[in-house]
A and B are shown apart, each in its own frame.
Chain A
Amino acid sequence: MIYLDNAATSWPKPPSVIKAMADALEQAGGNPGRSGHRLSIAAARIIYDTREELARFFGVADPSRVIFTANATQAINLALRGILKPGDSVVTSSVEHNSVMRPLRHLAREGVGLSIARCAADGSFFLSQLDSLVSPGVRLVVVTHASNVVGTILPIKAIADIAHRAGALLLVDAAQTAGAVPVNMPEMGIDLLAFAGHKELLGPPGTGGLVIGQGVDVSQIEPLLRGGTGSRSESEEQPVDLPDRYESGTANFPGIAGLGAGLKYLASIGIDQIRDRGKQLSRILFDGLKPLPGVMVYGTGDPERSVPIVSFTVSGKRVSDIGFRLDEEFGLLCRVGLHCAPAAHRTIGSFPEGTVRLSPGVSTTADEAREAVKVIARVVAG
């Protein structure tokens, strides 16, 4: 089997991730921080250690600014719904995932002004477009760090400069980049960053978070949920302290333990090494697929400008048929269709059919990528 669906969920997980999750349940099974006994304290330590790892990973000094959520979608909802009020304005891009687009469309109906910067058909971002849309009075700019359909990386630092010049905050959806390319919030000018734990960070599903940059005033961000935090229990009002302000309800500490182990695994390889391997795999897929008859490869075709995600279509063949044959006949697992990103598919010209998307991960080998090209060539031919 060749697994090329890491942009949806990474697989396989390192054995240390699975062990950390089992250990967490077995040896630290209390409610994290609520009860004060040894199993409760052990669970709280696991959460804190992962919080600290994540803060370091994204270049943030204060671990209490790492807010755990169930996934990137919840983190994005927390930021968008916590910041934007009727009368505010927000600018986004035309390659966003529905985790951004759906909450924004909902907020637009509630009276938030929404502008969308159109991207090129290969997913490239036009800074001049953004510049013309971001005026003083825009509260927030929200963009993905890289398209989940074609992998194209957006110029975050330059986007941050434009946003900040107008006094807006920048929220970045790093679901496809955290763990695949270096992401340093202060260096890139990112104010708020949403991440998924279960993709390239190698944690389990049910983990993710919002990292709030050091300069962001949290009184501007309303909590998405309110409830028990194990702190200030005498009060019936939500605490203002971080991270508790945004973390009500018992945390998924076995999942967070797995995420912590995933981060350690990535650190043992090194993010620069991971990035280089990713480029090599993109190159094999881009170059292998492009010459195949009837195959249209989307995106920049340039591994330097994209994360390892390659989307293609074959003239005269349905993407769902291709995906099914690849799985059934060759054990090649990928994802076909619209990838929860209709805006991105409209931008690249593949709406409503969608594409076949190949997304290698940290454990994918060059041989597997070459083998994938070979079996796709057979499906294309037959």
Chain B
Amino acid sequence: MTRFGVVLFYTTSAVMRAEKLLGKGGFLIKLIPTPRQFSSDCGIAMRFDWDNRDRVEAALKEAGLESAGVFPLDAG
């Protein structure tokens, strides 16, 4: 079963903004080096509990934070 997902962003600045936003929202997140199987859009990606996928995506959308993709971590 998939435990974690990752959100990729286009800039480090966007990752930092997302971390603050979701941290304040009470999500358990961790910044990790972007897994190579995805993309090299930005050196840092945001890991989250895959169960929260819909809520994480909704929070980012509401803040107008554009992601470069959301993926389950065991994929690719």
Within 8 A of A (CB), among B11-44: 11-17, 19-20, 31-34, 39-44
Contact between chains at B33 and A231 (CB < 8 Å): no
Chain B nearest CB, measured from A157 CB (Å): 28
Question: A63 in the interface, Cβ–Cβ < 8 Å?
Answer: yes
Interface string of A255-290 (1 = CB under 8 A from B): 000000000000000000000000000000000000
Contact between chains at A34 and B16 (CB < 8 Å): no
Count of chain B residues near A, Cβ 8 A: 21
Chain A nearest CB, measured from B46 CB (Å): 11
Contact between chains at B44 and A244 (CB < 8 Å): no
Question: A186 in the interface, Cβ–Cβ < 8 Å?
Answer: no
Contact between chains at A231 and B41 (CB < 8 Å): yes
Contact between chains at B43 and A63 (CB < 8 Å): no
Contact between chains at A33 and B33 (CB < 8 Å): no
Residues of A within 8 A of B31 (CB): 36, 41
Q: Given known contacts A37-B33, A230-B42, is B15 in contact with A239 (CB within 8 Å)?
A: no
The residue of chain B having its C-beta at the shortest distance from the C-beta of A35 within the complex is B43
Question: B10 in the interface, Cβ–Cβ < 8 Å?
Answer: yes
CA distance A63 to B12 in the complex (A): 12
Residues of B within 8 A of A233 (CB): 40, 43
Within 8 A of A (CB), among B44-61: 44-45
Within 8 A of B (CB), among A195-250: 229-234, 239, 241-244
Residues of A within 8 A of B34 (CB): 36
Task: Determine, out of A43-51, A76-84, A330-338, the stretch whose residues face the partner at the interface.
Answer: A43-51
Which 10 pairs across A and B sit closest by C-beta, in order of nearness?
A36-B33, A33-B12, A48-B16, A233-B40, A241-B10, A231-B42, A244-B11, A234-B40, A230-B43, A36-B43
19 extra interchain contacts, Cβ-Cβ under 8 A, other than A33-B12, A47-B13, A231-B42? A36-B33, A36-B34, A40-B43, A44-B15, A44-B44, A48-B13, A48-B16, A48-B17, A48-B20, A52-B17, A52-B20, A230-B42, A231-B12, A232-B40, A239-B11, A241-B14, A242-B13, A243-B11, A244-B13
The contact sample of 25 A-B pairs, CB cut-off 8 A, is A33-B12, A33-B43, A33-B44, A35-B43, A44-B15, A45-B16, A45-B19, A47-B12, A48-B12, A49-B16, A63-B13, A64-B13, A64-B14, A229-B11, A230-B12, A231-B41, A232-B10, A232-B42, A233-B43, A234-B40, A239-B11, A241-B11, A242-B13, A243-B13, A244-B11
